[in-house]
Amino acid sequence: MRNLWIDADAKEFKDDLALRVYTSRLLGQDSSLVLHGGGNTSVKITQTNIVGEQEEILYVKGSGWDLISIEEAGFSPVRIEHMLRLAKLDKLSDPQMVNELKTQLTNSSAPAPSVETILHAILPFKYVDHTHADAVVTITNTDNGIDKIREIYGDKVVVVPYVMPGFDLAKDVDRIFSEHATDKTEGMVLLNHGIFSFGNSAKEAYDRMIDLVGLAEKYLIDQNAWELNQPLGGVEFNPVRYEIAQLRSNISKVVDSPMLFSLTNSKNGIDFANRGDVESIATRGPVTPDHVIRTKRIPMIGRDVNKYTEAYKSYFDTHEPNAKDRKTMLDPAPRVVLDEEFGLCAVGRNMSEVGIIADLYEHTMQCILRAEKLGGWRALPASDIFDLEYWDLEQAKLQKSGNTPEFQGEVVLITGAASGIGKACVESFLNRGCAVIGVDLNKNIKCTSGSNNYLGLVADITDESALKDILETGVRHFGGVDMVVLNAGIFPGGKKVAELDTDEWRKVFAVNLDANLALLREVHPLLKLAPNKGRVVIIGSKNVPAPGPGAASYSASKAALNQLMRVLAMEWGSDGIRLNTLHPNAVFDTGIWTEEVLESRAKHYGLSVEEYKTNNILGVEVNSCDVAELAAQMCSSLFAKTTAAQVAVDGGNDRVI
């Protein structure tokens, strides 16, 4: 356990709250202490209020903030005096507690205070740090864990049996701490939950946390339970995309909503999933109940979704048979899947959620394996886990989660996505919550977007082997393909047919038609498994309904692609897959329309550049975003009953009309 405090850096933080920010971020940098919003910190400060009275204010980490990036605004200022009065009550329901915390804020725009606010208030120290340190939780999740903790720490810490966070935990801590704390007390261990450290300065509380967790790590080392065997295996690139897509489809049916399904490519995950005892050790419960909301109670072992959901429902009926109304609150689908071939897989509504789940389970695997070496992994009783999973406060969060993005949990593949219409399509689909696989020859495709819902792949779409590879990679990353936007194409220089050689003709057809035929053929089985049915949008051209001289290869190839769309609309309709074409014209914010080309074409027609750009019936300029937005809409429910349609995006062209 490394101490990250640097005196020179700390001097930049001038007051108590600023130092609270500094050490909170230090804790947040170590994923073995806190991970993705876990942990909590606070500081008690005397302040003068608006009427000139001095008040003791508790600044406690607010809801929605992560320690690694927290700022002063992320701490909720709560009046301590009222918290101490609440602690004396015999009972306080969760909704009542939340209301009391909100009413005692000194800043109405501050985030909601932590449910552990009362606990932080009653501890008689200026600074309080709380983490879910892997080493500590590992030890408490073993047989006789409480004895091991007492052996490690002696009178350095007060030990508190597990109680669900909230008022009841605060009451227990108040009682136990007052009975057992001494002048040697530096911290507190909540069994199966985490560890607290205290101090009268930010440095003292932080140093104690590092030292206390370091003692737990040393104990694991001394007991030969720290070092784990290095994983031997890796994820082989065998073609398994259809099996992945089928499993993702099955999980989405349970949720009744599309879900992303990601193979994490974790070597640790492959080894763990292939252990002979994986079903035993992985199904005893989470490392800490704080993880259960994101990772569910237990992972799914293998690919039998029905078996998993039946076990989940049976578990529910056993623990709360009379709460039938709650069955609609949480879906019984897994969030973690352990499979011998796939390894560790994470399931979520977006890749942020998937990443959190994967990270949490990476730590879970380490904790389980170390606990096994220490004598045996043992989690909380199922009833405690159930109580947290169906905790009123967590249910309230789920119900207040806001509007669901239109394409949440769905995946679109876009070709020619590095620039122009394709790049605009990437943004349009991402803005609707979609996961996007962008494909292009241009290496810049990898950084077309910084969203973690985006995957950029370099490929030549005329190479059928490369097409299979991008589908395999995309499905391993996101779980399937629900939509396809066929945008990649080439427009050769103008040539009359008499001047057009066969090789050039074939090259245009290879890109504009043959590559798209191969991609559609390969993606069809994936589109059949799309939870909301598959959709394809062809980016055609005005040259399909209204070809011009000098563009024979382009016009013919685009027309052939459009005709392919019409045939597939008939062939794939029984699979629920719909295909439609957009015919843009004069989209000038694309790569082929340089300033020189624009000026040349405008001069040819005796127009200014601006007049040339709006030379259509409506007198409007058409840009890439216009085309992209309509492409996304064609994949939405608005077009759910439309297939084989051809829609012009050209401001009105008299030849097309």
Averages of pLDDT over runs of 10 residues in the chain (657 residues) are 95 96 96 87 96 96 93 97 96 92 95 94 97 95 94 96 89 93 94 94 97 97 92 72 97 95 94 94 82 73 92 69 51 90 95 93 93 89 64 56 86 97 98 98 96 97 96 98 96 85 94 97 98 97 92 94 98 98 92 80 88 94 97 97 97 94
Q: 371 and 142 in contact (C-beta within 8 Å)? A: yes
Phi, psi of 460 (to 5 degrees): -95, 110
Cβ contacts of residue 279 below 8 Å, gap of 6+?
Answer: 301
Among residues 197, 97, 98, the alpha carbon closest in space to that of 157 is found at: 197
| Domain with 352 in it | 241-399
**What's residue 480's pLDDT?**
98
Its sign, for the CA torsion 516, 522, 524, 529, is: negative
Q: What CA–CA distance (Å, rounded) separates 620 from 614? A: 5
Say if residue 114 is in the same domain as residue 245. no
Say if residue 374 is in the same domain as residue 442. no
**What's residue 165's pLDDT?**
84
Quote the radius of gyration of the chain (alpha carbons, Å): 30
Phi, psi of 495 (to 5 degrees): -145, 135
Say if residue 249 is in the same domain as residue 305. yes
**What's residue 382's pLDDT?**
67
Cβ contacts of residue 303 below 8 Å, gap of 6+?
Answer: 243, 247, 250, 337, 339
In a domain, 120, yes or no: yes
Say if residue 246 is in the same domain as residue 363. yes
In a domain, 404, yes or no: no
Domain boundary among 399, 432, 461: 399
Tally of domains in the chain: 3
In a domain, 655, yes or no: no
Say if residue 447 is in the same domain as residue 393. no
Say if residue 99 is in the same domain as residue 217. yes
Query: Tell me, what CATH number does 60's domain have?
Result: 3.40.225.10
The strand pairing partners of 590, in sequence order, are none
In a domain, 466, yes or no: yes
Say if residue 265 is in the same domain as residue 317. yes
**What's residue 397's pLDDT?**
56
In a domain, 612, yes or no: no
Say if residue 459 is in the same domain as residue 315. no
Domain boundary among 373, 399, 425: 399
pTM comes to 0.91
Say if residue 213 is in the same domain as residue 256. no
> Angle at the Cα of 462 (from 622 to 574), degrees rounded to 5?
75
Any idea what DSSP says for residue 495? B
Say if residue 165 is in the same domain as residue 24. yes
Cβ contacts of residue 255 below 8 Å, gap of 6+?
Answer: 331, 333
154 φψ region: left (φ > 0), alpha (ψ -120 to 50), beta (else) = left
Q: Which residue in the block uniquely carries the two structure tokens 């949480």?
A: 330
In a domain, 73, yes or no: yes
Q: List strands edge to edge, sheet with 535-539.
A: 454-458, 435-440, 411-415, 483-486, 535-539, 578-584, 646-649
Say if residue 290 is in the same domain as residue 395. yes
Domain boundary among 188, 222, 256: 222
Query: Tell me, what CATH number does 539's domain have?
Result: 3.40.50.720
Q: What CA–CA distance (Å, rounded) separates 342 from 273? A: 9
**What's residue 314's pLDDT?**
74
C-alpha neighbours within 13 Å on the C-beta side of residue 276: 0
In a domain, 600, yes or no: no
Cα dist. 223→149, 193, 370, 416 in Å? 13, 22, 10, 56
H/E stretch holding 395: helix 392-399
In a domain, 593, yes or no: no
Say if residue 175 is in the same domain as residue 28. yes
